[in-house]
Amino acid sequence: MADLWMQFLLTLDATLRVATPLILCAMAGLFSERSGIIDISLEVKMLMAAFAAGTLAALTGSAIAGLAGAILVSVMFSLIHGFACITHKGNQVISGLAINILASGLTVTLGIAIFAKGGQTPMLSREARFSSIELPFAEAAGAIPVIGPIYKEIISGHNILVWCALIAVWITSFIIFKTAFGLRLRAVGEKPEAVDTAGISVSGLRYRAVIIAGILCGIAGAYLSVAHGAGFGREMTAGKGYIALAALIFGNWRPVPALAACLMFGFLDAVAARLQGVEVPVIGQIPTDLILVLPYVLTVILLAGFIGKATPPHAIGRPYVKER
Higher pLDDT, 306 or 13: 13
Distances (CA, A) of 39 to 77, 155, 170, 205: 11, 32, 21, 15
Query: What's the pLDDT tens digit per position in 178-235?
Result: 999 999 999 999 999 888 888 889 999 999 999 999 999 999 999 999 988 888 888 8
- When the pLDDT of each residue in the chain is averaged and rounded to a whole number, the result is 85
User: What local confidence, expressed as pLDDT, does residue 157 receive?
Assistant: 77
Residue 71 has pLDDT above 90, yes or no: yes
User: What local confidence, expressed as pLDDT, does residue 9 receive?
Assistant: 78
User: What local confidence, expressed as pLDDT, does residue 19 receive?
Assistant: 92
User: What local confidence, expressed as pLDDT, does residue 208 receive?
Assistant: 95
Residue % of the chain over a pLDDT of 70: 89
Query: What's the pLDDT tens digit per position in 99-127?
Result: 988 887 888 888 888 887 777 888 888 88
Higher pLDDT, 211 or 320: 211
User: What local confidence, expressed as pLDDT, does residue 198 receive?
Assistant: 87
User: What local confidence, expressed as pLDDT, does residue 220 receive?
Assistant: 94
Residue 91 has pLDDT above 60, yes or no: yes
Q: Read off the pLDDT band of 67 (50, 70, 90).
A: very high
Sign of dihedral through CA atoms 242, 248, 253, 254? Answer: negative
- The ranges assigned to domains in the chain are 2-121+145-238
Q: Of the given ranges (2-16, 44-58, 114-128), which has the lowest mean pLDDT?
A: 2-16
Mean pLDDT of 154-178: 90
Q: Read off the pLDDT band of 156 (50, 70, 90).
A: confident
Mean pLDDT of 51-69: 92
Q: Read off the pLDDT band of 169 (50, 70, 90).
A: very high
User: What local confidence, expressed as pLDDT, does residue 141 receive?
Assistant: 65
Mean pLDDT of 33-52: 92
Instruction: Report the 3 state secondary structure along the chain.
Output: CHHHHHHHHHHHHHHHHHHHHHHHHHHHHHHHHHCCCCCCCHHHHHHHHHHHHHHHHHHHCCHHHHHHHHHHHHHHHHHHHHHHHHHCCCCHHHHHHHHHHHHHHHHHHHHHHHHCCCCCCCCCCHHHCCCCECCCCHHHHCCCCCHHHHHHHHHCCECHHHHHHHHHHHHHHHHHHHCHHHHHHHHHHHCHHHHHHCCCCHHHHHHHHHHHHHHHHHHHHHHHHHHHCCCCCCCCCCCHHHHHHHHHHHCCCCHHHHHHHHHHHHHHHHHHHHHCCCEECCCEECCHHHHHHHHHHHHHHHHHHCCCCCCCCCCCCCCCCCCC
